[in-house]
Amino acid sequence: MKFLMYSQCGEGSQILQRIQSEGNDCALFIKDKIYKTIFDGILEKTDNPESFIDKDTTIIFDMSGNGSYADSLRRKGHYVWGASSFADDLEHDRQFGFDAMNDAGIIIPEHKEFKSFKDGLDYVKQSEQRLVFKPSGSMPCKLTYCSHDSEELLAYMPFVEQHFGKGIDSFILQDFIEGVVVSSEVFSLGDKGFIAPYNHTVEVKKSMNNELGPSTGCSGNIVWVCENDRIIKEGLSKIEALCKKHDYVGPIDLNTVVNAVGVYGLEWTPRFGYDATPTLLYGLTEDFGKIFSDLARKQCSELSLINGYIGGIRLSIPPYPAEPKQGIDSEKFSPNKGVPIQNWEAHEANLFFYEVCVSENQELCHSGGTGVIACAIGEGDTPEKSLELPEKILEDIILPDKQYRTDLATILPKLVKEAENHGN
């Protein structure tokens, strides 16, 4: 079989490498120049995706933002998994996403949208609630901020306006809801609806132990297959009709805050999630190629996943978690480009690599980029056991200036138990 991965920054390359290892013909296109060297020497690359595509090619999009192109390929009759204009609107237009939740009957926290920082600051001054600041647009770093009180937010928002205001189309101020944050995911086959099973993820985003440091996409997570529980019934399952209406073919995730009162929708992730997707896919019991081919053709009836819990911990090096500015020289941004990664071979099956390539000496090394190296993954019949192997793997790997959190085995299992209690 033939597969093309259309990638923004190369995050899903390891998925394609797994498909290639199963004997399939694969090519990788990476759009962002800073990440062009990812998986050099490991995967065939192309700078012209359509030159590789024929009528039988399965095309996988590993990130949002390219929905219009994905739609055009579908209109031409190609088999595409992930990405659509509908998915881009769900994720990047916060009000569109909230409207989708509201129309589906999903509870959302009280919020108000602003295009003016002055109006937003006036709202904060008058509000008696603890608020969360959430911007929309193309920002160079993660600016969502959960304040402890209004004074914090009144100090933070002028800073954001001064340094990042040009990249912010609008922002919302949302009431803070006490509870456990749970992401719930399912795979959508367009007009054929959702396929079983659903899965839940809990994760931590702060880059340092004890919830210190800047937020990241994910520092560690635990994923598990779930029944059609309260979190699913009051949340994600309600969007199935809309996904069918838009014929959306791809993964869809609803991020929620769950407490005894309700399941509150926060935001949509209608794409692969990193590191939740690598962690989930570790539990697949069939060939990746067959599964993604069947998914893109709407021929998959159910995902075959292991029981139990799957845990992942992210490994990185500096300058992570810094993010590059548009147009920055990749060599200057990636001072550790080419640094060797050693003592990983015995754990290869439990590592999902990100920014790696093969050097001239045929050694695995950092390819350049932000410094995200891998997610170490394990499984267990308890949340605690799922993180034992990832911790050992990251201890064993030899990598200068390696970074990872060492407190997740105490934090993440507690979040799992809270989520399961609220799901009953």
**pLDDT one-digit tens code per residue, 13-25:** 999 999 999 999 9
**Model confidence pLDDT, tens digit, residues 93-147:** 888 999 999 999 999 999 999 999 999 999 999 998 899 998 876 554 578 888 8
State both tokens at 314. 């992210």
pLDDT tier for residue 332 given thresholds of 50, 70 and 90: low
pLDDT of residue 280: 98
Backbone torsions φ then ψ of 29, nearest 5 degrees: -115, 125
pLDDT of residue 138: 57
CATH number of 2-87: 3.40.50
CA distances from 352 to 13, 23, 245, 391 (A): 9, 19, 34, 14
pLDDT of residue 228: 87
pLDDT of residue 166: 86
Taking residues 38-57, report their average pLDDT: 97
The mean pLDDT of the chain is 94
Taking residues 383-408, report their average pLDDT: 98
Taking residues 170-180, report their average pLDDT: 94
pLDDT of residue 329: 61
pLDDT of residue 327: 61
Can you give the C-alpha Rg of the chain in angstroms?
A: 21
User: What's the rounded Cα separation, in Å, for the pair 240 and 238?
Assistant: 6
Taking residues 342-360, report their average pLDDT: 97
Q: From 326, 168, 184, 192, select the one nearest 247 (Cα to Cα).
A: 192
**Model confidence pLDDT, tens digit, residues 268-324:** 999 999 999 999 999 999 999 999 999 999 999 999 999 999 999 999 999 999 877
User: What's the rounded Cα separation, in Å, for the pair 257 and 267?
Assistant: 10
pLDDT of residue 140: 46
User: What's the rounded Cα separation, in Å, for the pair 214 and 276?
Assistant: 19
Taking residues 357-367, report their average pLDDT: 95
Q: Which residues contact 114 (CB under 8 A, 6 or more apart)?
A: 120, 123, 170, 171, 172, 173
Beta bridge partners of 199: 185, 225
CA distances from 44 to 5, 20, 24, 31 (A): 11, 10, 12, 15
Domain edges within the chain: 2-87, 111-175
Q: From 91, 96, 23, select the one nearest 290 (Cα to Cα).
A: 23
Check whether 255 has a pLDDT greater than 70: yes
Q: Provide the CATH topology of domain 111-175.
A: Dna Ligase; domain 1 (3.30.1490)
pLDDT of residue 167: 84
Q: What percent of the chain has pLDDT over 70?
A: 97
State in Å, rounded, how far the first CA of the chain is from the last one: 42
